[in-house]
Amino acid sequence: MKSESTTRKQLYMQIADKVLEIIESRGLKAHDPVPSEGELAKLFGVSRMTSKLALEQLVERGVVYRLPRRGTFLSGTGQEESERITEQPTQQQADMKENKLIALMVPHMTDYTSRIISAVEQEVRKHGYDLILKISKDEEDQGRCLQTLAEMGVSGIILFPLGSKSCSSQVFKLKMEKIPSVIIDRVFYEIPIDCVYHDHYQGSYEMAKYLISKGHRKIGFSSNIIENITSRGERYQGYIQALLDHGIPVKSEYIHFRTSSIRPGRIHEYDAEQGEFIRSNPDMTAVMCADDQVAIATLFSAFHMNISVPETLSIVGFPDTHLSALTPVPLTTVRQDTDKLAAAAVELLMKRVRQSRKQHITVKIQTRIIERKSVLDRSVSP
């Protein structure tokens, strides 16, 4: 049985096949218009993005061509000939390959992204390429950076998105311009593109299971707002599923999504939101935090409230940033292996640079728990 994600990924291919059937049934000739994105979306009950991908798939195969503001038309050359031509590398692709440049785009410089940059640079060198680094501040800046990289003729791009919602248009642009690309730390189901990301769900599930094994039953969850970011959503889902699988009731009062992000320079101070969350749940014995910044802010807020960690409240984080080991009570956290992420992303990108036409791939990198001092073992009798 096909998974939901596989079905979603292949939907645009199914629509492309339907368009071929329409062309044949209507007896369309060269340069006749074919159904538009809107018509296809309405006809088959899919999104305009899916119908657009379907038409672009047919463009790649030489079946149709598109004219700005005019529509999509049946090509004048035969389909078999067009497919044979598209199998050959274009001059642009050949030029890109000669440049020996791989670009990495990240949304910010943090301990986590710094480790990714270092690891990617080492992996790129192994393949005889040089690395170009771009830091994009927002969606508009990200678009400009991608355009610049495309004009430079880079061989490929590794993209760490700002977030799944704001990045989707840029990911689509990469796909349509046929620039070999790999997305890291996010996964996109509706756009067929290679993704390499950590298994956030399993990491969170295992952390909740770890706390349960230490005798905790009243476990809270605190996170920055999910905002369509798959990693945060999967960590939340892992927490929920672990409680359900162990027969522990899910209490809404134990779940906290912040209204504003934590300011990195002030994580050692008392945080009003984290303080109120702790104060409102005095019986809570442990808090799972969706990232280390939230965990550290929770830790210092507890200190300011004269709540001992881990004796009264255990706190854990994600994904083992540098600061998590340097707090007054070193944090137990889930580690994301950036070396494995970089190696998988670069290896996959190199396959695309070498003209691999294999179906897009999603790679999950496993995480592991790093035990430190922030969890009390309540399963041990006094």
Q: Packing angle between helix 139-152 and helix 164-176, nearest 10 degrees?
A: 20
Q: What is the pLDDT of residue 381?
A: 57
Question: Between these two residues, 192 and 228, which has the higher pLDDT value?
Answer: 192
User: Residue 66 forms beta bridges with which residues?
Assistant: 72
Residues 318 and 217 in one domain: yes
**Per-residue pLDDT averaged across 331-344, rounded?**
97
Give the chain's domain count. 3
Residues 80 and 116 in one domain: no
Per mean pLDDT, which of 79-93, 217-231, 286-300 is the most reliable?
286-300
Question: Residue 237's CB: how many other CB atoms inside 10 A?
Answer: 14
Q: What is the pLDDT of residue 166?
A: 46
Residues 102 and 156 in one domain: yes
Q: What is the pLDDT of residue 266?
A: 81
In percent, the amount of the chain with pLDDT more than 90 equals 51
Structure tokens at 97: 């390959």
SS3 assignment, position 366: coil
Q: What is the pLDDT of residue 32?
A: 84
Residues 100 and 208 in one domain: no
Q: What is the pLDDT of residue 168?
A: 54
Structure tokens at 195: 């993704």
Residues 220 and 103 in one domain: no
Q: CATH no. for residue 318? A: 3.40.50.2300
Give the separation between CA 241 and CA 248, rounded to whole angstroms.
Answer: 10
Give the separation between CA 344 and CA 184, rounded to whole angstroms.
Answer: 10
SS3 assignment, position 355: coil
Q: What is the mean pLDDT of the chain?
A: 85
Residue 259: is it exposed, middle or buried by C-beta count within 10 angstroms (0-12/13-18/19+)? exposed
**Per-residue pLDDT averaged across 141-147, rounded?**
81
**Per-residue pLDDT averaged across 97-107, rounded?**
83
Q: CATH no. for residue 60? A: 1.10.10.10
Residues 13 and 114 in one domain: no
Measured at the CA of 88, the angle between CA 82 and CA 90, to 5 degrees, comes to 100
Q: What is the pLDDT of residue 226?
A: 80
Asked whether residue 30 is domain-assigned, the answer is yes
Q: What is the pLDDT of residue 163?
A: 61
Q: Which residues span the domain enclosing 244?
A: 200-335
Residues 351 and 363 in one domain: yes
**Per-residue pLDDT averaged across 146-162, rounded?**
87
Dihedral angle computed from the Cα positions of residues 272, 254, 326 and 305, in that order, rounded to the nearest 10 degrees:
40
Q: Which residues contact 250 (CB under 8 A, 6 or more apart)?
A: 240, 243, 244
Q: What is the pLDDT of residue 357?
A: 67
Asked whether residue 378 is domain-assigned, the answer is no
pTM of the model: 0.71
Question: Residue 188's CB: how many other CB atoms inside 10 A?
Answer: 21
Residues 11 and 67 in one domain: yes
SS3 assignment, position 133: strand
Number of Cα atoms under 13 Å in the Cβ half of residue 308: 4
Q: In which band, very low, low, confident or very high, does the pLDDT at 92 lie, cut at 50, 70 and 90?
A: very low
Asked whether residue 150 is domain-assigned, the answer is yes
Q: What is the pLDDT of residue 121?
A: 97
The answer to whether the beta carbons of residues 213 and 379 sit under 8 Å apart is: yes
Residues 295 and 349 in one domain: no
3-state secondary structure 188-218: CCCCCCEEEEECHHHHHHHHHHHHHHCCCCC
Per mean pLDDT, which of 136-150, 163-177, 284-298 is the most reliable?
284-298
Q: Which residues contact 304 (CB under 8 A, 6 or more apart)?
A: 269, 270, 275
Residues 223 and 134 in one domain: no
Per-residue pLDDT at 210 exceeds 60: yes
Question: Between these two residues, 130 and 84, which has the higher pLDDT value?
Answer: 130
Per-residue pLDDT at 83 exceeds 50: no
**Per-residue pLDDT averaged across 74-91, rounded?**
46
In percent, the amount of the chain with pLDDT more than 70 equals 85
Burial 87-96 (b: 16+ CB within 10 A, else e): eeeeeebeeb
Q: In which band, very low, low, confident or very high, does the pLDDT at 171 lie, cut at 50, 70 and 90?
A: low
Q: In which band, very low, low, confident or very high, does the pLDDT at 91 lie, cut at 50, 70 and 90?
A: very low
Q: In which band, very low, low, confident or very high, does the pLDDT at 60 lie, cut at 50, 70 and 90?
A: confident
- Express each pLDDT in 218-262 by its tens digit: 999 999 988 767 789 999 999 999 999 999 999 999 999 999 888
